[in-house]
Amino acid sequence: MKCTPTKLGLDPCTPTQSLAMGCRWGHLTPGRNCLLPSSSLPGPWQLAARSSHASSHRAKLGCGCTNGPAFNRSLTVAQHTQLLLALLEGLCSHSRPQCDLAAQLLLTIFEDRSIKAEQVAEVLQGLFQELPSIAFQSVLPNAMKVVTMLGTQYTQETVEVILSLCHPSDRQVLPLWKALAGNTRLARKVLTMLYRKLKLRPSKDLIRLSQQTELISLLALGTIYELLYTREYKATVRWAFAGILMGLLTQLHYLFELDVVEGISDYQEDILEIKPLGPCRTCLEALKGLFWTTNYWEVFAYLKLLRGWELFEHLETYTDGVTLLARAMVHYDCEVKAVLGQAVISLKSPEERDNIVAILIITEFLNSQELTQYVSRRTLDNLLSLGLNNPNQLVRAMSLKGLSSTLMHPKKVVLLRNRLAGLLDGFVKPEPKDLMGLMEILGDILHRLGPQGIGPASLKMAQHLLPLFEDVRAAGLLRSQ
């Protein structure tokens, strides 16, 4: 007896039902296009097959027709969704011809751009569920093309759905993110959306600590951490460096505000055992990874040697960490222009944490030789003056420090150099008092001179400092202090 939808108790006029049965029947045979004559296929499989042949024929003739497949015009949104889910299920068939047909029809539908925004969630959830069951690896590229086309048409919806599928560390979701890196423009939009979602930070009063894992900013954080080490996003991460950096720095401060610090200081890099990282540790490792994966190894090593990364493990030393990081970026000319642009935006933000990170970076960047190539002194003066009216005391103090810098007041260079020359005479005394304090003051003056340098006094300073490295007694004196 011929198996038909009517004899199975199904309405032959319900396309999605007969299609679902068609997926299971496998009315396919090897050969050209892996299809039987369309008359032998049930319900919408006939329609899909005919439409597929017609579309292929139009393409070969170079026809400019834009009408999509017939089933795209004859189904409701719900029926259309069920059709897609049935085809996704068909990708898991152990029949190679049926898999190829399902993949071909899926691509035909998505190329027609007939998908509605309200279908995105169900389609992606269906694909994610079927991915582990796909038997033929050659089908995967077509499945990922579907994700790429869906992401191109509905980027925001696609990103939000993928974020909600599972924890970012689940390797099963990574192919979906890789598919969204299918072209440069899409990859940039995706990464921009992710670091912007870091800003979705409800206050501590509005959330319960037990719900932290559900915060969208934490899901975005975990995803960014994974994508830093994903080859397909390497160039895009470099392009989005400034936005990601500001997002991570302010996110870490936010996590301190929530008091989610468990495990941040217990991390050991030389331990091979894989343990899930807490939110704070994930953020700090992402911050370190940002410099490592973009080949700014000098900045990474600079902080590593000075134990600067450890400053980010406590709120009390967090600002020192940001300052040291900005100083290293200036020294090695690391994305100064792009980060400065982001910092200017953050300084105008209503969020206090944004203002803090921004002013710390801007005041350190005043020591960059190229800064005036990117922004005028008048603009800097206006920005720093704006900070003087900030409610936060640190922002006001750092703004005042910036306004008194040698970049803003070049005449100070002569005064500081003269002061430096007088301090150097303290080294020639037989028993200098507070040698460490003297060196600390010298270091501060040198830092304030910045790109202006110390001029002729550099030789004199070298002559006075050399004995401290050669004289064992002097070395002991330094240790005792």
Query: What pLDDT, in 10s, does the model give residues 73-112?
Result: 677 888 888 888 888 888 888 888 888 888 888 888 888 8
pLDDT for res 127: 92
pLDDT for res 50: 47
The token pair that represents 472 in the structure block = 């064992």
pLDDT in tens, 377-427: 899 999 999 999 999 999 999 999 999 887 887 777 777 777 776 677 666
Higher pLDDT, 12 or 232: 232
Q: How far apart are CA 186 and CA 174, in angstroms?
A: 16
pLDDT for res 409: 77
How big is the chain, counted in residues? 481
Average the pLDDT over 114-122 and give the result.
89
Q: In which band, very low, low, confident or very high, does the pLDDT at 470 lie, cut at 50, 70 and 90?
A: low
Burial class (CB in 10 A: 0-12, 13-18, 19+), 87: buried
Kind and range of the H or E element at 126? helix 120-130
Long-range contacts of 123-129 (CB under 8 A, 24+ apart): 123/81, 123/84, 123/85, 123/88, 123/150, 124/150, 124/158, 124/161, 124/162, 124/165, 124/176, 125/161, 125/165, 126/84, 126/85, 126/88, 126/89, 127/88, 127/176, 128/165, 128/166, 128/172, 128/173, 128/176
pLDDT for res 450: 65
pLDDT for res 316: 94
- The answer to whether the Cα torsion of 469, 471, 477, 479 is positive or negative is positive
